[in-house]
Amino acid sequence: SQELEQSPQSLIVQEGKNLTINCTSSKTLYGLYWYKQKYGEGLIFLMMLQKGGEEKSHEKITAKLDEKKQQSSLHITASQPSHAGIYLCGAGDNYGQNFVFGPGTRLSVLP
């Protein structure tokens, strides 16, 4: 079965700093999904990547999928306290049966 690893496990940054979170798969990804979870709440979809080399941006968050489709990175530029939360990557086949999540990266942004 597919496994996803994330690094770092947790991250504390000063407001305004840039940061990167990585997600690595044990198998070639059909699609890679990034979600954000605020403490005590449900997950919110951020971005989906499907093509090797694909890059997507939304506001100050950029996600990339490598050419081999086994590694993805999430980059936040000029972090803000509103970026704090848990970031999870997820992946699965086309039918949802084998959908798995990474363990998550806990981000704290100090004002």
Partner 1 sequence: NAGVTQTPKFQVLKTGQSMTLQCAQDMNHNSMYWYRQDPGMGLRLIYYSASEGTTDKGEVPNGYNVSRLNKREFSLRLESAAPSQTSVYFCASSEAGALKQYFGPGTRLTVT
Report the interface residues with partner 1, using CB under 8 A.
1, 31, 33, 35, 40-45, 48, 88, 90, 92, 94-97, 99-104
Q: Which C-beta is closer to partner 1: that of 71 or that of 77?
A: 71
Q: Which C-beta is closer to partner 1: that of 31 or that of 70?
A: 31
DSSP for 46-111, please give it.
Answer: EEEE-STT-EEEETTEEEEE-TTSSEEEEEESS--GGG-EEEEEEE--TTSTT-EE---EEEEEE-
Q: Which C-beta is closer to partner 1: that of 22 or that of 92?
A: 92
